[in-house]
């Protein structure tokens, strides 16, 4: 299903541009929300790498449900693009 999501980028690589990253409800620098549960995290695969930002980002893409792995994210946003 095509959706619009807002959240904060959790980079998986050290790079100015991110092709795959996690999206969460809190900034990665927030000391009060260090451990975010997997049901609040979305694994993101961008259609083309996006510039990393410490600010909240809005993304649109196709949301799919992943297998119920308790050690991983429950959701995947494919072909994600930034929305201005």
- State the pLDDT at residue 4: 97
What is the torsional sign of CA 25, 21, 5, 62?
A: negative
- State the pLDDT at residue 37: 80
Please check the confidence at residue 42 and state whether its pLDDT lies above 90: yes
Please check the confidence at residue 61 and state whether its pLDDT lies above 80: yes
What span, in angstroms and rounded, lies between the C-alpha atoms of 60 and 80?
A: 5
Please check the confidence at residue 69 and state whether its pLDDT lies above 80: no
* Average of per-residue pLDDT across 64-82: 84
Confidence of residue 5 (pLDDT cuts 50, 70, 90): very high
Structure pTM?
A: 0.87
């Amino acid at each position: 299903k095509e959706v619009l999501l807002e959240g904060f980028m959790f980079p998986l690589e050290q790079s100015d541009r991110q092709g795959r990253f996690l999206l969460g409800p809190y900034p990665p620098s927030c000391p009060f929300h260090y451990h975010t549960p997997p049901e609040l995290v979305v694994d993101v695969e961008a259609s083309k790498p996006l510039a990393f930002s410490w600010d909240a980002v809005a993304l649109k893409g196709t949301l799919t449900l992943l297998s119920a792995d308790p050690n991983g994210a429950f959701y995947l946003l494919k072909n994600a693009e930034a929305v201005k």
